[in-house]
Amino acid sequence: MAVKTRWLGEGYKSESYDEAGGHRLLGDEPEEIGGEDTAPSPFSLLQTSVGNCAMGAMLRAARDEKIPIEALEADVAIKMNRLDESATSHFTVTCDLRMTEIRMRLRVTGDINEEQTSVLMWAAENCPVGNTIGGGVPITREIEVIAPS
């Protein structure tokens, strides 16, 4: 499973291509850190992934356990660390910026009892994306420099 991301040649705009599903997705940075805010930020995309994964896990559990869900919504909020106001460069500011907490509020509509609610919560708490973030998966990086032609 791979996603390829390329810079679109201006500002911080990028396009990602999901090779497995054939989907394209745009990204940008917020104006306050130099972007044009024309597409979701990397943090917004991560929030989207967490919410989408939790809901997918809940819907699979509902299907398997025959839990009657009529509607399902997730609000995913994040807390950020404080920016160091004494930072001397934009690079220093953005490298120190990170999420310190993810909060998800789930709303389920349906004739659902307490046991079924527990099953749905267990599914949301055990979605693969949430498990990955919570587990602190290591990221291996390498860079290849290509001379212009």
Q: How far is CA 26 from CA 7, 18, 104, in A?
A: 10, 11, 24
Cα–Cα–Cα angle for 148, 27, 135, rounded to 5 degrees? 105
Q: How far is CA 6 from CA 3, 10, 45, 61, 104, in A?
A: 10, 11, 16, 36, 30
Question: Which CATH number fits the domain 41-134, given the four candidates 3.90.1150.10, 3.50.50.60, 3.20.20.70, 3.30.300.20?
Answer: 3.30.300.20
- Could you count the other beta carbons within 10 Å of the beta carbon of residue 34? 12
Instruction: Give the tens place of pLDDT for each residue, 50-109.
Output: 999 999 999 999 999 999 999 999 999 998 886 555 555 555 555 667 788 999 999 999
Model confidence at 149, in pLDDT bands (50, 70, 90)? confident
